[in-house]
Amino acid sequence: MIRPYCPADLESLKEITALCFAKVSIDANIEAQFGAIGGRDWRWRKLRHIDQDVEGERAQGVFVWEETGQVLGYITTRTDAESRIGWIPNLAVLPEHQSRGLGRKLMDHALDYLRQQGMEAAKIETLAQNAVGSQFYPSTGFREVARQIHYLMRL
């Protein structure tokens, strides 16, 4: 059910991202307070992150959960051979398939992948407003190490 990403998955990943990050995205928060910037909405900015996650060799660290030909969720990873710290930029599961353990299985798969790539630690970021992530990540073994505040002003 978990398999490596292939380019045909890109639109599904973007659809899942747009659904799942609407209330837990810095870009959505910016738009809620300031409106659209540069003639683009928050989705355009957030979906560019997915393009970056699957670019070139990075695509090797992207995994999808598929059932009956449909992508239900995904996880992306990045590695840094020099620091030995891997990163999980994005994890999302379609809302109607959440609470089935798919996210946990994707996380376990990604952590195994990062270990195989020689990483000694993995990091993930979430917003304080992301109640699911704030509970889920510690339940998988992550510990909070810092909080960060994002500011924006129109120029």
Rounded CA separation 98/66 (Å): 14
Band (pLDDT 50/70/90 cuts) for residue 9 is very high
pLDDT digits (tens, 9 = 90+) for 27-83: 999 999 999 999 999 999 999 999 999 999 999 999 999 999 999 999 999 999 999
Task: Give the pLDDT mean for 82-107.
Answer: 96
pLDDT digits (tens, 9 = 90+) for 116-154: 999 999 999 999 999 899 999 999 999 999 999 999 999
Q: What is the 3-state secondary structure (H, E, C) of 83-150?
A: CCEEEEEEEEECHHHCCCCHHHHHHHHHHHHHHHCCCCEEEECCCCCCHHHHHHHHHCCCCCCCCCCC
Query: What pLDDT, on the 0 to 100 scale, is given for residue 10?
Result: 98
Burial class of residue 127 (count of CB atoms within 10 Å of its CB; 0-12, 13-18, 19+): middle
Type of residue at 136: F
Query: What pLDDT, on the 0 to 100 scale, is given for residue 120?
Result: 98
Percent of the chain with pLDDT over 70: 100
Query: What pLDDT, on the 0 to 100 scale, is given for residue 153?
Result: 96
**Please, what is the Cα angle at 120 between 114 and 124, to 5 degrees?**
65
Query: What pLDDT, on the 0 to 100 scale, is given for residue 16?
Result: 97
Query: What pLDDT, on the 0 to 100 scale, is given for residue 24?
Result: 93
* Domains by residue range for the chain, with CATH: 2-139 (3.40.630.30)
Band (pLDDT 50/70/90 cuts) for residue 102 is very high
Rounded CA separation 46/28 (Å): 9
Model's pTM, two decimal places? 0.94
Helix, strand, coil percent content, the chain, rounded in steps of 5: 45, 20, 35
Query: What pLDDT, on the 0 to 100 scale, is given for residue 86?
Result: 98
Look-up of token digits 């978990």? 2
Rounded CA separation 16/48 (Å): 14
**Bridge partners of residue 38, in order along the sequence:** none
